Protein backbone atom coordinates (compact mmCIF):
# COMPACT_ATOMS: atom_id res chain seq x y z
CA UNK A 1 0.00 0.00 0.00
CA UNK A 2 1.28 3.45 -0.95
CA UNK A 3 1.33 5.97 1.87
CA UNK A 4 0.06 9.37 0.72
CA UNK A 5 2.14 12.18 2.21
CA UNK A 6 1.05 15.12 0.05
CA UNK A 7 -2.35 16.68 -0.49
CA UNK A 8 -3.83 19.45 -2.58
CA UNK A 9 -6.69 21.43 -1.08
CA UNK A 10 -8.84 23.17 -3.67
CA UNK A 11 -9.92 26.44 -2.07
CA UNK A 12 -10.14 28.95 -4.88
CA UNK A 13 -13.78 28.94 -5.91
CA UNK A 14 -16.04 31.96 -5.91
CA UNK A 15 -18.44 30.49 -3.36
CA UNK A 16 -21.53 31.79 -5.13
CA UNK A 17 -23.94 29.43 -3.30
CA UNK A 18 -22.71 30.60 0.13
CA UNK A 19 -22.29 34.27 -0.74
CA UNK A 20 -25.44 35.28 1.17
CA UNK A 21 -24.28 33.45 4.33
CA UNK A 22 -20.61 34.50 4.25
CA UNK A 23 -20.34 37.48 1.91
CA UNK A 24 -16.94 38.64 3.14
CA UNK A 25 -15.05 35.33 3.19
CA UNK A 26 -14.07 32.57 0.80
CA UNK A 27 -16.36 29.62 1.44
CA UNK A 28 -13.59 27.44 2.90
CA UNK A 29 -13.31 30.04 5.65
CA UNK A 30 -17.00 29.85 6.62
CA UNK A 31 -17.21 29.40 10.39
CA UNK A 32 -18.44 26.04 11.67
CA UNK A 33 -18.67 25.61 15.44
CA UNK A 34 -16.43 28.64 15.90
CA UNK A 35 -13.66 27.59 13.49
CA UNK A 36 -13.11 28.14 9.79
CA UNK A 37 -14.21 25.02 7.93
CA UNK A 38 -10.80 24.61 6.31
CA UNK A 39 -9.33 23.91 9.77
CA UNK A 40 -11.31 20.68 9.90
CA UNK A 41 -10.01 19.65 6.48
CA UNK A 42 -6.41 20.45 7.45
CA UNK A 43 -6.71 18.57 10.74
CA UNK A 44 -8.16 15.50 9.02
CA UNK A 45 -5.27 15.44 6.54
CA UNK A 46 -2.76 15.74 9.39
CA UNK A 47 -4.55 12.94 11.26
CA UNK A 48 -4.10 10.81 8.12
CA UNK A 49 -0.33 11.51 8.24
CA UNK A 50 -0.22 13.93 5.32
CA UNK A 51 2.95 15.92 5.82
CA UNK A 52 2.69 18.53 3.04
CA UNK A 53 -0.36 20.44 1.87
CA UNK A 54 -0.58 22.50 -1.28
CA UNK A 55 -3.39 25.04 -1.32
CA UNK A 56 -4.88 25.91 -4.68
CA UNK A 57 -6.25 29.40 -4.08
CA UNK A 58 -7.99 32.10 -6.05
CA UNK A 59 -10.92 34.20 -4.87
CA UNK A 60 -10.13 36.10 -1.66
CA UNK A 61 -6.92 34.10 -1.19
CA UNK A 62 -5.56 36.72 1.19
CA UNK A 63 -7.95 35.56 3.92
CA UNK A 64 -6.77 31.96 3.63
CA UNK A 65 -3.08 32.90 3.65
CA UNK A 66 -3.52 35.18 6.66
CA UNK A 67 -5.36 32.43 8.51
CA UNK A 68 -2.66 29.86 7.70
CA UNK A 69 0.05 32.22 8.95
CA UNK A 70 -1.81 32.92 12.19
CA UNK A 71 -3.43 29.56 13.02
CA UNK A 72 -1.06 27.08 11.36
CA UNK A 73 2.45 28.60 11.60
CA UNK A 74 4.15 25.19 11.81
CA UNK A 75 2.20 23.60 8.96
CA UNK A 76 4.33 22.45 6.02
CA UNK A 77 2.45 23.98 3.11
CA UNK A 78 2.80 25.67 -0.22
CA UNK A 79 0.24 27.47 -2.31
CA UNK A 80 -0.54 28.56 -5.81
CA UNK A 81 -2.93 31.29 -6.82
CA UNK A 82 -5.12 31.24 -9.91
CA UNK A 83 -4.96 34.62 -11.61
CA UNK A 84 -8.18 33.73 -13.44
CA UNK A 85 -10.60 30.87 -12.73
CA UNK A 86 -9.23 27.60 -14.09
CA UNK A 87 -11.99 25.22 -13.02
CA UNK A 88 -11.39 22.11 -10.97
CA UNK A 89 -9.13 20.36 -13.47
CA UNK A 90 -7.07 23.46 -14.12
CA UNK A 91 -6.65 24.11 -10.41
CA UNK A 92 -5.47 20.54 -9.84
CA UNK A 93 -3.05 20.79 -12.75
CA UNK A 94 -1.61 24.08 -11.48
CA UNK A 95 -1.16 22.79 -7.92
CA UNK A 96 0.23 19.42 -9.04
CA UNK A 97 3.33 21.19 -10.34
CA UNK A 98 4.37 21.61 -6.70
CA UNK A 99 3.84 17.97 -5.77
CA UNK A 100 7.04 15.99 -5.23
CA UNK A 101 5.63 12.47 -4.75
CA UNK A 102 4.25 10.08 -7.37
CA UNK A 103 0.87 9.92 -5.61
CA UNK A 104 -1.13 12.61 -3.85
CA UNK A 105 -4.69 13.23 -2.71
CA UNK A 106 -6.92 16.10 -3.80
CA UNK A 107 -9.68 17.39 -1.53
CA UNK A 108 -12.05 20.32 -1.59
CA UNK A 109 -11.54 23.00 1.04
CA UNK A 110 -15.26 23.13 1.71
CA UNK A 111 -16.01 19.41 1.97
CA UNK A 112 -15.07 16.84 4.58
CA UNK A 113 -15.50 13.08 4.66
CA UNK A 114 -13.40 10.30 6.01
pTM equals: 0.91
Q: How far is CA 90 from CA 19, 33, 49, in A?
A: 23, 32, 26
Given CATH 3.90.550.10, say whether it is the number of domain 6-108.
yes
CA atoms 77, 57, 113, 5: torsion sign: negative
pLDDT at 18: 58
The DSSP bridge pattern shows strands 105-108 and 6-11 to be parallel
Cross-sheet strand order for the sheet of 52-57: 77-81, 52-57, 6-11, 105-108
Is 80 exceeded by the pLDDT of residue 19? no
Q: What is the pLDDT of residues 24-74, one digit of tens each?
A: 888 899 999 999 999 999 999 999 999 999 999 998 999 999 999 999 999
b/e map 48-70, b = 16+ CB within 10 Å: eebebbbbbbbbbbebbeebbee
57: closest CA among 109, 113, 16, 3? 109
Amino acid sequence: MTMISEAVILAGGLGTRLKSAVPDLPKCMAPVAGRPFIDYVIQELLDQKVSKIIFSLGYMHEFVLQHLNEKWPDLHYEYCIETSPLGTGGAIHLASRQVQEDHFVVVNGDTLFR
